Structure formats: C-alpha cells, structure tokens
Amino acid sequence: MANIGVCIEPFFSDLPYRDRMARVHDLGFKHYEFWFHNMRFDGSNLIPEDKDFEEIAELNGRYGLTCTDFVFNHPDGGIVGAMIDKKDRDLILDSFGAMINLARKIGCKAFISGAGNNVPGLSRQEATANMIETLKACAEVAEKEGITLILEPFNTRVDHPDYFLDDPHACVEVLKEVGSGNVKMLYDIYHMQIMDGNVVAFIRENIRHIGHFHVAGVPGRHEPYDCELNYPFIIREIDKLGYKGGVGLEYWPTIDHSESLKRTKAYLEG
C-alpha cells in the first residue's frame, strides 16, 4: 500500500516545524515531507531559516515518523540551479553531496528537483540534452549513496508559466535516457491533471518511472475530497500496481488544518 503522508509546509504554518510534526503524528500519519533545508514557509512567504536536522531526527524517533523526501533543487532553478542549464551543473553536483549528508541525519532517502525555468536563447533540444547529462551525473552519486532523485514536471497553465518541464511524457523520455533506477519522476496529480489528464492510464503505463506522488484538488489546489478527480479510485489503482512509495498531501487547506487532513485521510483510505 502507498504511504500517504503530509507535506508540512502548507499546513500549520503558524507553528514551528517540531509542532507541525507533532500534529502530523497526532492525526495518525507516519510519513511527511518538507520543502527546503534552509527556508521556512510561514503561509505566505519563504523565510531564510535553517531547519534543525538533529531535532528532526529526534522527533522522527519519538513519533515513529519517516521523512519521505525534501526539496533539493527549486522548480525554477532559483535555488541551487537549473537542470537544463549546463553552466549550473557543477553547482548542482556540489550541492547534491551536502544535501545527502543532511538527508542521512534524518533517514531520508529521496530528494525533489525541478528542471528550471526556460532560458532565453536555449532551444528545447539543447535544454533537454543538458538536463539528461546533469541527471546522469547526479545518478552516479545517487546510486553510490542509495538516494533517489525525483524530477518534477509542473503545470505551466496556472502556476508555473515559465517552467521548462511541463509534459509527463517528455519527463519519462528523459528518465529513459538517464537510465537509472535512482532517478525517477514526481508525478504531481494536480499539475498533471491540468496539463495532460488521463491520469490513471499514464500511471498504469509508467509506474516504474514514478518515485513519488503529490495529491491536491483540481481546480484550486485545495482539499482533494472536493474536486473534479476521483482520488480514492486513483489511490486504489496505484495500490493495485504494487506501488509502495510515498503519496504526499500538498495542498492549500480551506478549513481548520487538522480537520482538513483528518477528512482527507478518511477520504483517501476509506
């Protein structure tokens, strides 16, 4: 069965992360994820603030929680660098090692990476080739360290108009070229419903390339129990395929955060 967890960034944003983790535990979740190692999201903005990985490790042990992943590389390439830009390759690789050391402290074995925003004057063909070469270099490190790098396509119709990688099929072709079981796709169902639809058929065909899922309602990125998608059906299909990885709840709650997560958990697991 898939491991349904909580992205702790959009939830309980008025609380320190230790209290967010306590809330996740109290609601019956065993898995969680977060965004950046050096940024705190306060509900509106990202604020520079290093996360305390020693404290996170202690809280994992206390509550029996597992961190499924966190963001290594920002979607637009503004934090660390752009996968599609060759000049950022060394910066990305240098940062990758430091992130692995942090992940090891908390028993986390996966990172999220964006591809980067479009670069003026850079053709799609060259950008794709650059991304493949950078991912191949990351894969060598990931394979040695037992880490999975998960590449995320985003929608360009609503949320990320300048983003390069907005096609899940193109993402799969990139992953095939990289050829490593340690580099997979983050299939964000919200983003990909907006861009491509045909969600379950895509998952059935490409589950071997998917290393993580994100869940949110369409439209609006709110509660998944009140939207155009039949999420219980989607989760059942994922389970039938034998997927054992993470399914992260990453949405903007419209009601009390605990109540929203409680209802969502019951809806998805019901």
Q: Catalytic: 269?
A: no
Distance CA 214, CA 267 (A): 16
CB 36 within 8 A of CB 71: yes
If we measure between CA atoms, which residue out of 1, 32, 43, 3 comes closest to residue 253? 43
Q: What is the pLDDT of residue 75?
A: 65
Amino acid 16 reads P
- The rounded mean pLDDT for the chain is 95
pLDDT, tens digit, 9 for 90 and up, residues 111-169: 999 999 999 999 999 999 999 999 999 999 999 999 999 999 999 999 999 999 999 99
Cβ contacts of residue 226 below 8 Å, gap of 6+?
A: 217
Percent of the chain with pLDDT over 70: 98
Distances 236 to 51, 193, 196, 230 between C-alpha atoms, Å = 35, 17, 21, 10
**Confidence at 2, pLDDT banded by 50, 70, 90:** confident
Catalytic-labelled residue, pool 145, 250, 259, 269:
250
Q: Domain of 124?
A: 3-269
Distance CA 27, CA 97 (A): 34
- Residue 263 sits in a domain whose CATH number is 3.20.20.150
DSSP state of 187: E
Distance CA 80, CA 111 (A): 13
Q: Catalytic: 9?
A: no
Catalytic-labelled residue, pool 9, 33, 152, 223:
152
Cβ contacts of residue 87 below 8 Å, gap of 6+?
A: none
Distances 95 to 86, 88, 99, 100, 176 between C-alpha atoms, Å = 15, 11, 6, 9, 24
Which residues on adjacent β-strands are paired with residue 183? Answer: 149
Whether cis (ω within 30° of 0) applies to the bond prior to 219 is: yes
Q: What is the pLDDT of residue 81?
A: 84
Q: How many domains is the chain built from?
A: 1
CB 246 within 8 A of CB 68: yes
pLDDT at residue 79 is higher than 80: no
pLDDT at residue 78 is higher than 70: no
Q: What is the pLDDT of residue 76?
A: 56
Which residues on adjacent β-strands are paired with residue 6? Answer: 32, 249
CB 212 within 8 A of CB 245: yes
DSSP state of 92: H
pTM of the model: 0.96
Q: What is the pLDDT of residue 214?
A: 98
Distance CA 139, CA 93 (A): 10
Residue with token string 């169902």: 189
